[in-house]
């Protein structure tokens, strides 16, 4: 599983819907615990933002833009 897929999996487990926001640390810690490198997680977040699945917003927040 690549980092973007792992981020999506983590967001699904949180039960987020489009428009919901979550703190990056709420998904970052579990992903690091799974063995993902923090830089890979950031790359995954940027990939998902480029695909318009999420939006990175101020305050270390992620807004979900599309249903998972």
Domain ranges within the chain, ordered by starting residue = 3-64
Question: Which residues lie below 8 Å from residue 13, measured CB to CB, with a gap of 6+?
Answer: none
- What does the pLDDT read at residue 49? 98
Helices then strands (H, E): number in the chain?
3, 3
Give this prediction's pTM.
0.91
- What does the pLDDT read at residue 54? 98
- What does the pLDDT read at residue 1? 73
CATH of domain 3-64: 1.10.10.10
In degrees, rounded to 5, the angle at the alpha carbon of residue 65 between the alpha carbons of residues 20 and 43 is 100
- What does the pLDDT read at residue 66? 97
User: How many CB atoms lie under 10 A from the CB of residue 28?
Assistant: 18
What would the pLDDT profile of 8-57 be if each residue is shown by its tens digit? 999 999 999 999 999 999 999 999 999 999 999 999 999 999 999 999 99
- What does the pLDDT read at residue 39? 96
- 3-class DSSP state of 64: strand
């Amino acid at each position: 599983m690549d980092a973007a897929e792992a981020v999506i999996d983590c967001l699904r487990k949180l039960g987020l819907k489009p428009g919901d926001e979550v703190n990056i640390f709420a998904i970052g810690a579990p992903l690091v615990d799974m063995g993902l490198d923090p830089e890979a997680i950031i790359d995954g977040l940027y990939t998902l933002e480029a695909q318009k699945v999420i939006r990175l917003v101020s305050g270390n927040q992620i807004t979900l833009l599309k249903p998972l």
